Amino acid sequence: MDLQVSDLMVARGGVPVLDGVDFTLSPGRALVLRGPNGSGKTTLLRTVAGLQPPLEGRIEGAGDRIAYAAHADGLKTQLTVRENLTFWARVFAHDGVEAALDAFDLRGLEDRPAGTLSAGQKRRLGLARLMVTGRPVWVLDEPTVSLDVASVALFAEAVRRHLAQGGSALMATHIDLGLAEADALDVTPFRATPRVAAHDEAFL
Ligand SMILES: Nc1ncnc2c1ncn2[C@@H]1O[C@H](COP(=O)(O)OP(=O)(O)OP(=O)(O)O)[C@@H](O)[C@H]1O
């Protein structure tokens, strides 16, 4: 099933940011959003993930098919690495904890409380969580922040495996992941035209 975005208008703080966004993401494909800081990539991802409503347009094939990972790691700091993954696997009624530990080089850190991990290790755990959701569409906002070169390669490999299994990935990143199979979408042309403020808005 495709993820299909049609004529989408998205906003932050009530202000339209992007307008007329159209794309289709098919199983086995990755789409990288490009655009300068503040251009609306995060806003688009949050909308596709269902964290905020669109102002206009349609999103099909999203909902509970999406696993979202954003800037905030959202880890349970008191729980160990393994407990975090087990917790999320139960939430999503899925498994894959062992594969996730392997994929993100978390062996040896399994019994460490997540709160004691370094920034990059936390990021690896946050990304490993995707694998225990069983969800086909990964929506990722700057997934490689804090990752070293080796960890970026692990991440790219995990995405590649996910695509090979029929999953898909929509992500915003400023770095080259070396995913030759990824398509790119520059959001800059979709920048929304500023709306003329209502008469009394200047006083709010
Ligand atoms: N909570 C908020 N309230 C109002 N405006 C916001 C809010 N969060 C972001 N914005 C604005 O919305 C616009 C789009 O921001 P967004 O975070 O989607 O951009 P981005 O392309 O992801 O940027 P970056 O590459 O820096 O992560 C920016 O002008 C930003 O300042």
pLDDT tens-digit series, residues 137-172: 999 999 999 999 999 999 999 999 999 999 999 999
**Ligand 1 nearest-atom number relative to CA 39:** 21
Question: What ipTM did this prediction achieve?
Answer: 0.94
Give nearest CA residue, ligand 1 atom 17: 42
CA of 113 to the centre of ligand 1 (A): 32
The label of the residue with tokens 């594969």 reads: 99
Q: Of the candidates 77, 179, 173, which has an alpha carbon nearest to the alpha carbon of residue 125?
A: 77
Give yes or no for a contact between 87 and 132, defined as CB atoms under 8 angstroms apart: no
For 90, the token pair is: 């139960």
CA of 44 to the centre of ligand 1 (A): 10
CA of 182 to the centre of ligand 1 (A): 24
Among 21-30, 94-103, 173-182, 191-200, name the one with the lowest average pLDDT. Answer: 191-200
* The pLDDT of residue 67 is above 80: yes
CA of 12 to the centre of ligand 1 (A): 7
**Can you give the pLDDT at residue 178?**
80
CA of 186 to the centre of ligand 1 (A): 16
Q: How far apart are the first and last CA of the chain?
A: 44
Give nearest CA residue, ligand 1 atom 16: 40
Q: What is the C-alpha to C-alpha distance for residues 152 and 41, in angstroms, rounded to an integer?
A: 20
Q: Of the candidates 33, 39, 32, which has an alpha carbon nearest to the alpha carbon of residue 10?
A: 39
Ligand 1: list residues with CB < 6 Å.
12-13, 17, 35, 37-43, 172
CA quadruple 158, 164, 165, 166: dihedral sign: positive
Give nearest CA residue, ligand 1 atom 1: 13
Give 72's DSSP letter.
S
Q: What structural domains and CATH numbers belong to the chain?
A: 3-195 (3.40.50.300)
